[in-house]
Structure 1
Amino acid sequence: MSLSKLIGARGEAAADDVPAKRERRKEARPKELLDAALDLFVEKGFAATRAEEVAVRAGVSKGTLFLYFPSKEDLFKAVVQENISGRYAEWNQEFVDFEGTSADMVRYCMKVWWDRIGATRASGITKLMISEARNFPELAAFYQQEVINPGKRLIRRILQRGVDSGEFRAGMDLEYAAYAISAPMIFLIMMKHSLAACAPEDYPLDPERYVMQQADVVLHGFCAKPEGTDR
């Protein structure tokens, strides 16, 4: 092949590569935008985060951002769905497939929640909602529907499983018992994002030890009394 033909062939190949690269870049943009938005929402809060900042951090124009997400509210909802609420189908299937005891399931639930949400950037979403929910009632209602309600339903299913098997006490108010599992996890998030600054430097909070201890405390309250005992 002559040099001119070789250069021409390379030029054609390079030209053919351009749409493919552009297409890959286009397909990656929503994820890049959501990652950038999550970082900024956690760092600055919802109110203080501007759409332009998200676009800059993701390396795209503001127009590109609004092409995928028409408003900052839509962007926030997509961040919540990507990082938390979109995973409930997977978590509910794990409930169906779980083969251990209900006590084991409670421990698993709390540990896995910390590993997958609490220890990640996504935990900042909970802190953001605690601090800004009253100023954005539409987002608060969305978070209630997408995160809080499905989470409570899943915890209730775990507790009901234990009651049905005789592991947990019958007659518990499962609606309120569910808070005994979620409340310690919210505290751990607040320690991570806010309250740790108030804690003594010589008293570090180990998340794994904390989660396991809270699970033990909860389970001693849930477990059925041994036959013939008063407590």
Structure 2
Amino acid sequence: MPQTPKFRRRPTARPDEVLDAALDLFIERGFAMTRVEDIAERAGISKGAVYLYFPNKEALIEAIVKRALVPVAENVAALAKNLSGDPAEDIVRMIQLVGGRLGDQRTAAVPRLILSEAKLFPELAAIYRREILDRGLAAGKIVLERGMQSGRFRRIDPDHAVRAVVGPLIANLILFQVFGLGSAEREAQESFLRSHVDILMNGLLREKDDE
């Protein structure tokens, strides 16, 4: 009687399984202390099988960044090419897109990992900057410059301004994941995004008519 073949995972699913295992271990142990054989064991495959997909740990972290955050950068860039006509609305859409993705805990774990490891492994920071920051900041700068050209925004340094738009999103991530300030609940994250947009668009000072 022929034996029933054992269950086999689809080869196309294995790279994602390896990346999931690598991300979990990088978060738990740090990049330096995680070995490829540890990743293989967590993923349930051989060490040699890991190397079929990723030649080294650097390739793993680059693939993790690309999988989690490159689609966000690409979507932000697409928004900059398909503007609504109101730059204020476009900036809000970008903030909601980035903030919404960072609200996902596994996605948010990637920039946290890069921040924690960048000092010892500057090549990780270089990957993150090349794949994510440079693309996202360039797209935001386009929207700000068009807003200034149209007269919707006042004249400011666009390089500084785009960092002021993005910076609070990263700060909120750090405050929650590192210091435990805030909440991962969707309502709490949406409330923060609304506050960020309000302060960005209206500032902190009260109008004289409100005094």
Letter in 1 for 2:161: A
Aligned to 1:224: none
* C-alpha distance in structure 2 between counterparts of 1:96 and 1:41, whole Å: 35
Q: What is the aligned partner in structure 1 of residue 172 from structure 2? A: 188
Amino acid at match of 2:58: E
Size of the alignment, in residue pairs?
A: 200
- The reply to whether residue 61 of structure 1 matches residue 46 of structure 2 is yes
Query: Per-residue deviation at 1:83?
Result: 1.0
Residues 70 and 51 (structure 1 numbering): CA distance in 2 closer, same or farther, change over 3 Å?
same
Deviating beyond 6 angstroms after TM superposition, the runs of 4 or more aligned structure 1 residues are none
Task: Name the structure 1 match of 2:207.
Answer: none
Question: CA 1:74–1:104 in 2, change beyond 3 Å: closer, same or farther?
Answer: same
Q: Unaligned stretches of 5+ in structure 2?
A: 204-211
Report the CA distance between 1:96 and its aligned residue.
2.4
TM-score of the aligned structures, taking structure 1 as reference length: 0.76
Residue 3 of structure 1 corresponds to which residue in structure 2?
none
1:210 is aligned to: 192
SS in 1 for 2:105: coil
- CA 1:99 to 1:37, structure 2 compared with 1: closer, same or farther past 3 Å? same
Would you say 1:220 and 2:205 are equivalent positions? no
Cα distance change of structure 1 residues 118 and 47 upon mapping to structure 2, 3 Å threshold: farther
CA distance in 2, matches of 1:178, 1:134: 24
Query: Could you give the per-residue CA deviations for residues 110-166 of structure 1, whole angstroms, max 9, x where no partner exists?
Result: 122121234331211212222221111222222221122112111111212211222
1:160 aligns with 2:142: no
**Residue 110 (1) aligns with residue 92 (2):** no
Q: Distance in 1 between matches of 2:28 and 2:80?
A: 33
Counterpart of 2:120 (choices 130, 135, 148) is 135
Query: Does the residue aligned with 1:134 lie in a helix, a strand or coil?
Result: coil
Q: CA RMSD in A?
A: 2.6
Over alpha carbons, which structure has the higher Rg? 1
Distance 1:178 1:70 in 2: 36
State the percentage of identical aligned residues. 36
